[in-house]
Amino acid sequence: MRAIQFTPDADRLARARIVEIERPVPGPGQLLVRTALTGVSVGLVRMLRADASANPGGEMVGTVVAVGSGLEESWIGARVGGVVFASLYAEYVCATPAMVTEIPAGVPAADALAVVRGGLVAMGVVHAAKSVAGSAVLITAAASGAGHLALRLARAAGATRVVAAVGSAGKFDFVRECGADAAVTYDRPWSETFDIVLDGVGGDLVQRGVDSLGPHGTLVAFSAGGGAVDTSTLLGELKTVTGFSMGLLSRTEPQLIERYRAQLWKLLEENMLRPHVEVRDWAELDAVVDLIATRRTVGRMAISAGPAPW
C-alpha cells in the first residue's frame, strides 16, 4: 500500500514522501480501514516541529475492509470515521472501535471528517463552559477546524453574542458566515467583555482572554499551545480558568463522547452544522502543512488518496 513518511528537510519543517509499504494486519480487537479522507491540522505541525520524522496520528474517514480477532465480521463494509494515534497517513490504517464511529448514511465523508475530531472538540469545549446559554462568548482560533464548528455550536447552545478572534482580518468573512456576530484579530485590543472565552490558541492569549472576562466569567483552555495565568487576576471578579481534553474524555467518559457524536450527526442531518472542509491530493501534503504552519487555512484541511466521491 502507499503511505506517507515524513523526513527532516533543511529547507522546511519536514518533507512528506509517498512510499510503498506492507499493508498492516489488524491485531486483536482492531479494524483495518481503507482511508478515504485524512485530516491535516496544527497538531501535525506541532508534531513535526518537535520531531521532523514523526509518525503522526489524527482523524480519518474510510471503510472497514478487515477485522482482527474478537471483532464481528459485520464491521466489514462499514463507513467509519475517528482517530488513530499513529500511522495515520496511509491507504490502510488500524483503528480501535472505541476511537471510531459508524457514519450515518447520508452524511458526506467530508462532513464526517470535520466532526469526528474537530466537532467533538468543539462540542466538548462548549459544554465545558457550562453556561453558554444567555452568555457573550469569545472564541479564539475561531476559523480553525474545531473553532469554526464551536462558533455554530455556541450559537446553538443559546449564546447571545459570539465573537470570533482570528490571526488575520482575511478570515473575517469566513467566521461571519460560520455564525460569528463580530470578528477581531489578536494584534488589536479587544474592547468587549465576555462571560465565556474558549481559547484555542494559548500563549499570551490565555491571559488576554482572562482579562476580557467579566465577573464570574470562565475561560476554557483547549489549545496545546500552553500559556500562563496570573491567578491574582482571577480573585477580585471570581473568574475561572478550566481546561478541556478530548483525549481524556474519550478514555474516561466514552458514553459522553457517544452522546456528543449523536448530537453532531443530528445537527449535520438537520443542516444546522455546515463544516467547511478543503480536500487536497496526497501529493500536496507539504503545501498543506505550510499553509497551516503559516496560519493561512480556514475550516478543516484534509488530503485524499483518490479523487471524489469518497
Site for ligand NAP, rule CB under 6 A: 41-43, 45, 118, 121, 141, 143-147, 166-167, 171, 200-201, 222-225, 244-247, 292, 295, 297, 300
Complex with ligand NAP: residue 65 or 293, whichever CB lies closer:
293
Minimum distance between the CB of residue 44 and ligand NAP, rounded to whole angstroms? 8
Minimum distance between the CB of residue 262 and ligand NAP, rounded to whole angstroms? 19
145: CB partners within 8 A, 6+ apart: 39, 41, 114, 117, 118, 299, 300, 301
Minimum distance between the CB of residue 257 and ligand NAP, rounded to whole angstroms? 11
Complex with ligand NAP: residue 204 or 237, whichever CB lies closer:
204
Complex with ligand NAP: residue 201 or 268, whichever CB lies closer:
201
Complex with ligand NAP: residue 244 or 282, whichever CB lies closer:
244
Minimum distance between the CB of residue 157 and ligand NAP, rounded to whole angstroms? 18
Indicate the residue type of 86. A
**Main-chain dihedrals φ then ψ at residue 46, nearest 5 degrees:** -60, -40
Complex with ligand NAP: residue 41 or 212, whichever CB lies closer:
41
Cβ burial, residue 6 (10 Å; 0-12/13-18/19+):
buried
Q: Is 104 left (phi over 0), alpha (psi -120 to 50) or beta?
A: beta
Indicate the residue type of 70. G
Minimum distance between the CB of residue 256 and ligand NAP, rounded to whole angstroms? 13
Minimum distance between the CB of residue 158 and ligand NAP, rounded to whole angstroms? 23
CA 290 to chain centre: 18
Complex with ligand NAP: residue 146 or 180, whichever CB lies closer:
146
SS3 string of 81-150? EEEECCCCCECEEEECHHHEEECCCCCCHHHHHHHHHHHHHHHHHHHHCCCCCCCEEEEECCCECCHHHH
Q: How far apart are CA 202 and CA 147, in angstroms?
A: 13
Q: How far apart are CA 226 and CA 123, in angstroms?
A: 21
Nearest residue to the partner ligand NAP, using Cβ: 167
